[in-house]
Structure 1
Amino acid sequence: MAKAPDSTVYPLDHLVKRGAPDAPALVLKGEVLTYSDLSERVGQLAAWLRELVREEGARVASWDAKGELTCLLPLAAPRAGLVHVPINPLLKRAQAAHILSDSGASLLIANKGRMNSLHQGDVPDGCATWLESEALEAAYSAAASLPLSAAEPDDLAAILYTSGSTGRPKGVVLSHANLWLGAVSVAHYLKLASDDVTLSVLPLSFDYGQNQLLSTWYAGGSVVPLDYLFARDVMKACAKHQITTLAAVPPLWVQLTEIEWSEEAVANMRRMTNSGGALTLDLVRDLRRIFPDADLYPMYGLTEAFRSTYLDPSLVDEHPTSMGRAIPFAEVMVINEGGDVAAPGEEGELVHCGPLVAQGYWRDPERTARRFKPAPGASQYGGIAVWSGDSVKREDNGLLYFVARRDAMIKSAGNRISPQEVEEGALASGLVAEAVALGLPDERLGHAVHLVVRAEPGAQDYEAALPKFLTKELPNFMQPEQIHWRHTMPLNPNGKIDRTALLKELSR
């Protein structure tokens, strides 16, 4: 029987001690930081943050591409007793402004382009702003350095913003224990080792992306952050850095299977991990063909509980559509409509219990109460659980299978998109009176965004003007694949726009 992972919780910044002092921890464009370097720079950055932001538990936001600052802040902010709020670099001004306001950020660090995109009033009163390069220079020029923190497991470490099916992005509150045990769990079931090299291609504002850093550092390995433009960039990085671990979402895997891989890029690959959507049978087959000696780990998760399940690589060929079983430190239950544990083969709601469950939504007790509720009576952990809203079933062999999402979330190219955000963007143009955003199945994206709109009476040249406006105001992954203009919207018996009717119409 495999040895269980260590459940002892340490402050998150103690990850700087996990690797050998001279071993590579972070491979940047211009230099390689060893674990000794990582420890020193995290301490310096934490001391600078503590001097700048004196309030314990204050929020520190970062809005930048992958680099030294965005990789160090997840450890430096908690060491300083602060809470890190990473903003997805793909987001634009309006979304970033909402996150800054909602989190009550005391400090924003960003690059010059993103900082210049902000309008007056986008940055909350009292929130200091620093350019990334100047922040690092100031931190490293000071002699001060904070020692390892003595944070408690339940102390807050980060707020990760994720879109809901309705409303603006909500901040998922994560403690040191949430993030530490998440790193331990993944490092354990992926069998990460100190000689592993992880290519970090996913945004660090995502729990899946950030965990690539934390789980690799827990194992004492090294991380290569990469912001890529083309699939070939990923392949070249795998060859250059002898990558052993690659994580992606289905749309990226599709792109990666469509290019010709060099022997150098494939030679060192030990494992590939997938989340953010299910792998298709064709994708599994293609990945097996390209990486015949690597393990493939399909996974399922939600930011509110980090990750819930994984499928052991030995079962992928025989059960390619399964979500697998619960990851270490997670208890995954299937609860039927009667509130009981579902029988084998019976559909029910996936409920995640245990220490990976987040602390709720930041300053949003109403939505927290809807999603974070008491665990089912049969739970071995008890306490508060995450009720996912996803319908699943567990077969006789113990493997879980996804059935459907119960909310209106649009999941496109691995991004969770709130329909309301797209609709609000369209309404803000002044060109439309009503707007409905829907997700339609798409082979490459998972779901493509379709926008149904009724023009504002008197609006001029709206068909040409609206796409231009949305391109400016919404991030690329929220852009509608198609805009459908209507003279009238269908209404349901309650007088509301009938989204179901529109979805059926567009799906024909």
Structure 2
Amino acid sequence: MPAAPDPTVFPLDHLALRGKPDAPALVFKTHGLSYEALNQRLGQLAAWLAAQISEPGARVATWLPKSELACLMPLAAVRAGLVHVPVNPLLKRAQVAHILGDSGARLLIANAGRLATLEPGDLAGAAAQEESAVWAAAEGLVPLGPSQAAPDALAAILYTSGSTGRPKGVMLSHANLWLGAVSVAHYLGLTAEDRVLAVLPLAFDYGQNQLFSTWYAGGAAVPLDYLTARDVAKAVERHDVTTLAAVPPLWVQLVELDWPEAAALRLKRLTNSGGALTEPLVRALRTRFAQARLFAMYGLTEAFRSTYLDPALVDAHPTSMGTAIPFAEVMVVADDGREAAADEEGELVHAGPLVAQGYWQDAERTAERFKPAPAFSRMGGMAVWSGDRVRRDGAGLLHFAGRRDAMIKTSGNRVSPQEVEDAAIATGLVAEAVALGLPDPALGQAIHLVVRAKGDAGQAAADLPGALARELPGFMVPRVIHWREAMPLSPNGKLDRTGLYQELSAAVAKG
């Protein structure tokens, strides 16, 4: 691997110019795009966008599966001088309405089925366009050429849940996204010969980076919306995939499959995101995919990615977070503000050019998370104070110790407890609610909801599961609902979340 990656920043849409013109850039089940076609198609899409919206920096949202338009929009939007707001296709109308209203999106592009679920007022002033109609109008246009955007210009707003409140929009610049692509392509060792299976949602930072880092290396990305783990294995075999990124619950399913030997051997690298790998899972992956290099990684949307573990160290240190990725400075800050000593627990703080620009139109929450780097920082500037507790061992490797906030991480998704609680209260069936994430071997954490009924308890118990399933995406629906006649209170009069967590954790442990 070269000593250091190239730190030069280009506008994000220049990623379409990285590969050989006739080399594959995108591979779908029914068709593919070469780099020449990729640049042509995104140029036409950008021309259509520019004709619809003339205001520089206006937001355009997509609510799509991994279609061609969804893959091209991050580059097309910025080529048209706009800001892309990708919406997780698993979200439902209430969450989509919040994102559209909060971002002030001027346009929403989705398929007909999703648009049909929206109710009056959900668009919050945005125009709605059906995906196929957009292509029908764009395909005859003269393509826009590469943009000349400034490195610090806003390129995307990615919505992510916080430990409290509704999802907040993380503002990412061209430099954030470009250098993220360079960094990952560099430490993974991606080349033009690689084929990367993109199974992570494109509304996530690393989901998008599957495309960006692949295109930076001149390789081919293979987008996949899958229903079962078997679909993933079949795609690896069908498309000669060399690189696979996944979250721990999917890895658990993948190692249990009876893989075709040739497909398992074809994988050169595995990358983990969205939750920590357990030691047994690391051992299982190393056994099942013996020829593949396993990259364990840690990150947060506010700083893209922070650390990775050198695959050469994974057998000896299977649960370590590793060390900082290129362009990142990762520090462990003790509670008194100094740099933590070896094996001393502290807060993980991330500095450098991968740090996002803050939260969209939310100065208060930006000030809570984005603060000046510690005095001992090499890079300085604004830093992300993660709230995660870590320690650095004597060999310089980082180890996760715990979260300072109450975020629930389930199936690779970050879920705000308050968002689940608000949805429960909004049904009118419960008076009080507490959502907790309890350890689960398959999901990482399973959502448990503790509630007190409002009115007829029997009717509420019968109706609440269906009501939540209608209003929440599948990964946010509680796995278990616990009904209480009275909710426990802490000494300060608040709902006793800690006591409930301890009680339910003990019950789960007993089985």
Query: Structures share a fold, TM > 0.5?
Result: yes
One-letter amino acid of the structure 1 residue matched with residue 149 of structure 2: A
Tell me by how many angstroms 1:2 deviates: 3.8
Tell me by how many angstroms 1:457 deviates: 2.5
Asked if residue 276 in structure 1 is aligned to residue 274 in structure 2, the reply is: yes
Tell me by how many angstroms 1:78 deviates: 0.5
TM-score of the superposed pair, with normalisation by structure 1: 0.99
One-letter amino acid of the structure 2 residue matched with residue 467 of structure 1: P
Structure 2 counterparts to residues 13-412 of structure 1, below 5 A: 13-125=13-125, 127-142=126-141, 144-412=142-410
Asked if structure 2 preserves the Cα contact closer than 8 Å seen for 1:350 and 1:392, the reply is yes
Measure the CA separation in 2 of the matches of 1:460 and 1:287.
46
Identity of aligned residues (%): 68
Tell me by how many angstroms 1:460 deviates: 5.8
One-letter amino acid of the structure 2 residue matched with residue 480 of structure 1: P
Asked if structure 2 preserves the Cα contact closer than 8 Å seen for 1:242 and 1:264, the reply is no
Measure the CA separation in 2 of the matches of 1:119 and 1:427.
20
Q: SS in structure 1 opposite 2:102?
A: helix
Asked if residue 435 in structure 1 is aligned to residue 439 in structure 2, the reply is: no
Q: SS in structure 2 opposite 1:123?
A: coil
Measure the CA separation in 1 of the matches of 2:20 and 2:288.
33
Q: What residue number does 2:3 align with?
A: 3
One-letter amino acid of the structure 2 residue matched with residue 382 of structure 1: G
Q: Which runs of 5+ in 1 are unaligned?
A: none
Measure the CA separation in 2 of the matches of 1:124 and 1:93.
12
One-letter amino acid of the structure 1 residue matched with residue 250 of structure 2: L
Tell me by how many angstroms 1:494 deviates: 2.1
Tell me by how many angstroms 1:459 deviates: 5.9
Q: 1:457 aligns with which of 423, 431, 455?
A: 455
Tell me by how many angstroms 1:493 deviates: 2.2
Asked if structure 1 preserves the Cα contact closer than 8 Å seen for 2:358 and 2:366, the reply is yes
Post-superposition CA distance 1:17-44 (Å, at most 9, x none): 1000000000123211000000001111
Q: SS in structure 2 opposite 1:470?
A: helix
Asked if structure 1 preserves the Cα contact closer than 8 Å seen for 2:265 and 2:290, the reply is no
One-letter amino acid of the structure 1 residue matched with residue 120 of structure 2: Q
Asked if residue 490 in structure 1 is aligned to residue 481 in structure 2, the reply is: no
Structure 2 counterparts to residues 469-480 of structure 1, below 5 A: 469-480=467-478
Tell me by how many angstroms 1:57 deviates: 0.3
Post-superposition CA distance 1:322-355 (Å, at most 9, x none): 1000000000000000000000000000000000
One-letter amino acid of the structure 1 residue matched with residue 15 of structure 2: L
Deviant stretches of 4+, over 6 Å? none
Tell me by how many angstroms 1:363 deviates: 0.6
Asked if structure 1 preserves the Cα contact closer than 8 Å seen for 2:303 and 2:350, the reply is yes
Measure the CA separation in 2 of the matches of 1:173 and 1:132.
25
Tell me by how many angstroms 1:289 deviates: 1.2
Q: 1:507 aligns with which of 500, 505, 510?
A: 505
Post-superposition CA distance 1:380-404 (Å, at most 9, x none): 1111000000000001101000000
Q: What residue number does 2:509 align with?
A: none
One-letter amino acid of the structure 2 residue matched with residue 102 of structure 1: D
Measure the CA separation in 1 of the matches of 2:255 and 2:233.
10
Tell me by how many angstroms 1:47 deviates: 0.7
Of 29-38 and 299-308, more deviation after overlay is shown by 29-38
Measure the CA separation in 1 of the matches of 2:248 and 2:170.
24
Measure the CA separation in 2 of the matches of 1:227 and 1:133.
18
Measure the CA separation in 1 of the matches of 2:2 and 2:107.
44
Tell me by how many angstroms 1:458 deviates: 4.2
Post-superposition CA distance 1:67-97 (Å, at most 9, x none): 1010000100011110000000011111111
Q: SS in structure 1 opposite 2:36?
A: helix
Asked if structure 1 preserves the Cα contact closer than 8 Å seen for 2:265 and 2:292, the reply is no
Q: SS in structure 2 opposite 1:461?
A: helix
Q: SS in structure 1 opposite 2:116?
A: helix
Q: SS in structure 2 opposite 1:454?
A: strand
Measure the CA separation in 1 of the matches of 2:262 and 2:469.
39
Tell me by how many angstroms 1:98 deviates: 0.5
Post-superposition CA distance 1:246-297 (Å, at most 9, x none): 0001000001011110023213211000011111111111111111111000
Q: SS in structure 1 opposite 2:3?
A: coil
Q: SS in structure 2 opposite 1:251?
A: helix
Measure the CA separation in 2 of the matches of 1:320 and 1:285.
8
Tell me by how many angstroms 1:496 deviates: 1.1
Q: SS in structure 1 opposite 2:139?
A: helix
Tell me by how many angstroms 1:375 deviates: 0.3
Q: SS in structure 1 opposite 2:263?
A: helix
Kindly report the root-mean-square deviation, in angstroms, between the aligned alpha carbons of the 2 structures. 0.9
Asked if structure 2 preserves the Cα contact closer than 8 Å seen for 1:201 and 1:209, the reply is yes
Asked if structure 2 preserves the Cα contact closer than 8 Å seen for 1:63 and 1:110, the reply is yes
TM-score of the superposed pair, with normalisation by structure 2: 0.98
Q: SS in structure 1 opposite 2:69?
A: helix
Measure the CA separation in 1 of the matches of 2:35 and 2:397.
39
Post-superposition CA distance 1:109-136 (Å, at most 9, x none): 00111100000000012x1110011111
Post-superposition CA distance 1:449-469 (Å, at most 9, x none): 000000003466111100010
Asked if structure 2 preserves the Cα contact closer than 8 Å seen for 1:178 and 1:358, the reply is yes
Asked if structure 2 preserves the Cα contact closer than 8 Å seen for 1:21 and 1:36, the reply is yes
Measure the CA separation in 1 of the matches of 2:32 and 2:167.
35
Q: SS in structure 1 opposite 2:55?
A: coil
